[in-house]
């Protein structure tokens, strides 16, 4: 090979931050692996190449030494270096393809991803066309109301008390102290029947749903979900290889019986009975009892997601579905994501006594373990009464902010929106009706996001049922922000 080919082969960038020797080594290496420099061909002498590339001879020597160390070239005394024969076939233009792919933001290794990996790597959330705003994002609690000082004290106390035993792997399913505290708390405030040993601490609701899917269903089994419903449940069940069927929340019992008759009985039934996500509302007692009976008869496990019933805006919370169960057909899930903040990554499951060991082993096998320091802090936070004080505070705040927006919406759009008065939580459902019933809610959500809001279209939560509307966060809404939102909504829908 002619020595002057290296002038075109090697492009040096003296301001790139990468040393010249490393650049030379990397580009010659790629040429050898791609077959541009075939086996038995000769490299220029170090003196020739230094002159051609206008670099020091020491840079060439260093690059050649790196190539020789990898066995790509043979350095010979008083002779030009020779390209060695390598066992693998030349990789063609893969190197160049990788460079281009990386420049375009595409993974060069995408061809290695399995079908399961493609499924697992899919986003089920709404992806706005622009940058996501933090205003009025559904499901997001107020970060400003997070009790930083009280939580900091709990963390300091936990840091001083965390034992050697609790710092290892023996407590992978959760700290005994937190389980004891949660057992009493859930019994008193949610009517949950659970001994401490039945509680499994996990890093989030998604982890709990994944564990439940693996434990209670096999590949190809049917999971019955609410429609519209929580996208996290949909993702967890699909990623676990389950088939999905959808139902309105108050029709779940009927659909469980129907599926059983069709010989595709539901193995899992996901429900948010205390505050339906995303539309709101409480599952009536008669529907709860019917759901329990249908699940018992068909052998289905109910997954109760009790994500925000601790801070009702008015009235008293209804006893958790798990507390009404007599035969262990309910797995209960609770979380701190709404009552505190999502970043704590703490949630918990209440499982049947006979499943405790299996769940704990599955949890460790999947690596779904929660931070011990935060667990101990949460136990102190609840035990000291700080948690109840915080819940009372956010309940008053969330009720007031939600009512401001609700009153403004029903006053301004009485014939275009159906908006139920929010009874709990940090989001509100706006159902399009009348002349707005035909608008594209994804387009409306994008327009609202373009002007600084972070709302979601209702349609993304729908599986079989077709509905159009918006899911709007209410945790930190102000009077001015509500007015701005209503103005922006009116403009967006008129222009659609």
Residue 87, pLDDT score: 66
Residue 283: which of 259, 247, 258 has the closest Cα?
A: 247
Residue 241, pLDDT score: 92
Q: How confident is the model at residue 34 (pLDDT cuts 50, 70, 90)?
A: confident
Q: How confident is the model at residue 100 (pLDDT cuts 50, 70, 90)?
A: very low
What CA–CA distance (Å, rounded) separates 231 from 248? 15
Residue 124, pLDDT score: 79
| Mean pLDDT estimate for the chain | 90
Asked if pLDDT for residue 101 goes beyond 60, the answer is: no
Cis peptide before 228 (omega within 30 of 0): yes
What CA–CA distance (Å, rounded) separates 407 from 44? 80
Q: What's the pLDDT tens digit per position in 285-317?
A: 999 999 999 999 999 999 999 999 888 887 777
What CA–CA distance (Å, rounded) separates 231 from 228? 9
Asked if pLDDT for residue 97 goes beyond 60, the answer is: no
- Strand pairing report for 222-226 and 266-271: parallel
Q: What's the pLDDT tens digit per position in 409-419?
A: 999 999 999 99
Q: Which domains does the chain have, with CATH numbers?
A: 5-83 (1.10.10.10), 148-384 (3.40.640.10), 389-495 (3.90.1150.10)
Asked if pLDDT for residue 65 goes beyond 80, the answer is: yes
Q: What's the pLDDT tens digit per position in 418-446?
A: 999 888 889 999 999 999 999 999 999 99
Taking residues 196-225, report their average pLDDT. Answer: 96
Q: What's the pLDDT tens digit per position in 468-492?
A: 999 999 998 999 999 999 999 999 9
Q: What's the pLDDT tens digit per position in 350-378?
A: 999 999 999 999 999 999 999 999 999 99
Residue 496, pLDDT score: 67
Asked if pLDDT for residue 108 goes beyond 50, the answer is: no
- Judge if pTM exceeds 0.85: no
Q: Cβ distance 442 to 450 under 8 Å? A: no
Q: Mapping DSSP to helix (H, G, I), strand (E, B) and coil, where does residue 127 land?
A: coil
Q: Which long-range contacts (CB under 8 A, 24 or more apart) does 174-181 make?
A: 174/199, 174/200, 174/201, 174/348, 174/370, 174/375, 175/201, 175/372, 175/375, 175/376, 175/379, 177/376, 177/379, 178/375, 178/376, 178/378, 178/379, 180/379, 181/379, 181/382, 181/383
Asked if pLDDT for residue 174 goes beyond 50, the answer is: yes
């Amino acid at each position: 090979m002619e020595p002057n080919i290296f002038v075109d082969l090697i492009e040096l960038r003296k301001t790139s931050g990468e040393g010249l020797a490393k650049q030379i080594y990397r580009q010659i290496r790629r040429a050898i692996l791609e077959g541009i420099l075939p086996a038995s061909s000769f490299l220029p002498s170090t003196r020739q190449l230094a002159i051609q590339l206008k670099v020091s001879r020491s840079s060439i020597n260093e690059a050649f030494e790196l190539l020789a160390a990898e066995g790509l070239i043979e350095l010979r005394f008083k002779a030009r270096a020779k390209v060695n024969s390598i066992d693998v076939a030349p990789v063609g233009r893969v190197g160049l393809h990788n460079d281009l792919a990386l420049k375009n933001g595409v993974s060069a290794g995408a061809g290695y991803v399995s079908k399961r990996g493609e499924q697992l790597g899919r986003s089920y959330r709404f992806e706005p066309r622009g940058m996501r705003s933090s205003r009025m994002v559904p499901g997001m609690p107020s970060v400003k109301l997070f009790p930083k000082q009280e939580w900091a004290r709990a963390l300091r106390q936990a840091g001083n008390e965390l034992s050697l035993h609790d710092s290892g792997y023996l407590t992978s399913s959760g700290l005994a102290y937190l389980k004891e505290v949660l057992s009493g708390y859930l019994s008193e405030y949610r009517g949950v029947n659970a001994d401490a040993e039945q509680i499994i601490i996990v890093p989030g609701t998604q982890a709990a749903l994944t564990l439940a899917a693996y434990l209670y269903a096999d590949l190809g089994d049917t999971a019955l979900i609410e429609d519209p419903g929580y996208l996290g449940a949909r993702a967890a069940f699909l990623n676990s290889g389950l088939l999905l069927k959808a139902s309105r929340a108050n029709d779940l019992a009927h659909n469980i019986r129907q599926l059983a008759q069709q010989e595709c009985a539901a193995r899992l039934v996901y429900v948010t009975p205390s505050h339906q996500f995303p539309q709101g509302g409480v599952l009536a007692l008669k529907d709860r009892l019917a759901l329990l009976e249908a699940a018992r008869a068909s052998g289905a496990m109910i997954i109760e997601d009790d994500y925000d019933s601790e801070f009702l805006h008015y009235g008293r919370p209804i006893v958790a579905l798990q507390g009404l169960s007599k035969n262990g057909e309910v797995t209960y899930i609770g979380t701190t994501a709404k009552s505190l903040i999502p970043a704590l990554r703490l949630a918990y499951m209440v499982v049947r006594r006979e499943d405790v060991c299996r769940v704990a082993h599955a949890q460790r096998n999947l690596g779904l373990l929660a931070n011990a320091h935060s667990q101990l802090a949460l136990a102190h936070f609840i035990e000291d009464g700080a948690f109840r004080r915080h819940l009372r505070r956010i309940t008053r705040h969330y009720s007031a902010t939600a009512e401001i927006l609700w009153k403004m919406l029903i006053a301004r759009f009485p014939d275009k929106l159906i908006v139920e008065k929010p009874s709990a939580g940090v989001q509100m459902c706006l159902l399009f009706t009348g002349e707005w019933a035909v608008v594209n809610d994804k387009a409306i959500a994008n327009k609202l996001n373009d002007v600084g809001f972070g709302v979601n279209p209702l349609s993304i939560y729908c599986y079989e049922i077709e509905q159009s509307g918006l899911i709007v966060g209410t945790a930190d809404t102000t009077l001015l922000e509500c007015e701005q939102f209503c103005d922006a909504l009116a403009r967006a829908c008129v222009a659609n």
